[in-house]
Amino acid sequence: MQELVLIQPGSTIRSESSRDTAQADARHDFEARLVECGPLAYRVARGVLRNSADAEDVAQEALLRAYRSFHRLRDRNRFRGWLVRISFRIALDRLRSAKRRELRDLEWSQPAHQPRPANAEDIAASNEFQAHLDRALEELPEKLRLVLLLAAMEGHTIDEIAALLAIPVGTAKSRIFVARKQLAEKLRCHVNPTKTR
């Protein structure tokens, strides 16, 4: 059955052309932000996952999701913070599922659990302290972890981090301090056990 629609030809043409223009503007706008913020998404994912290939996948997914929902973002100035949260969330999900998979593989392949083949990055990260640091970082609460990763990125001041996460500067400072302290407590015994007099 043929569906009939009541239209006003003049107004329809005008609204379609304005919609096309809006779409082109949105795509152009996103393209400009992609160049600026793509590395940020990758770095957040890399900080969580510690693996370049996984981080690239996650950054790609985060940017794609951001593109799909770009029209819903009312304040475009918040794009960076929004993208950071998307990327962080996807990276955490990926990390959790990878851990579950690793645990499952470990259970199935006992007692001969073979480590995966190492590349240059893995070799660099294979020292004992780095492994302990990774573990300690994963045990941090998410809020502390994200703020610590952003603080470790080059070119991010505390003011920028606070603006990015839409939190007060004092809160950002406090979170960084607490996060570093918690990491140090977990890692101190692995570096140099401190004894008190």
Partner 1 sequence: MPCEPYKNALVEAAATGAEPLGELRAHLAACPACRAALAQEQSLFSSIDTGLSAAVNAEIPASLLPRVRARIAEEPAVTRGWIPGWLAMAGAAAIIIAFLAAQAAWRNVAPRKPAEMATQPASPVQVPLPPVRSPESAPTSRHDSATQPQVSVVRNSVPRQTRTTRNPEPQVLVPRDQEVLLARYAEQWRSRKRLPLMAETSSDTPMAPLQIAPIQIAQLDVKLMTEEQGQ
Q: Are 81 and 164 in contact (CB under 8 A)?
A: yes
Q: Are 185 and 132 in contact (CB under 8 A)?
A: no
Q: Which amino acid is at 179?
A: A
Q: How far is the CB of 92 from partner 1 (least distance, A)?
A: 15
Q: Of 173-192, which residues contact partner 1 (CB under 8 A)?
A: 177, 180-181, 183-184, 187-188, 191-192
109-148 footprint of partner 1 as x/- string (CB under 8 A): ------------x--xx---xx--x---x----------x
Toward partner 1, which CB reaches closer, 117 or 155?
Answer: 155
Q: Are 83 and 41 in contact (CB under 8 A)?
A: yes
DSSP-derived secondary structure letter, 117: P
Asked whether the CA dihedral 59, 64, 69, 73 is positive or negative, the reply is: positive
Toward partner 1, which CB reaches closer, 114 or 196?
Answer: 196
Residues in Cβ contact with 177 at an 8 Å cutoff, skipping those fewer than 6 apart: none
Toward partner 1, which CB reaches closer, 29 or 105?
Answer: 29
DSSP-derived secondary structure letter, 78: G
Residues that bind partner 1 (CB under 8 A): 19, 22-23, 26-27, 30-31, 34-35, 38-39, 42-44, 46-47, 50, 52, 55-56, 59-60, 63-64, 67-68, 70-71, 121, 124-125, 129-130, 133, 137, 148-149, 152-154, 177, 180-181, 183-184, 187-188, 191-192, 194-197
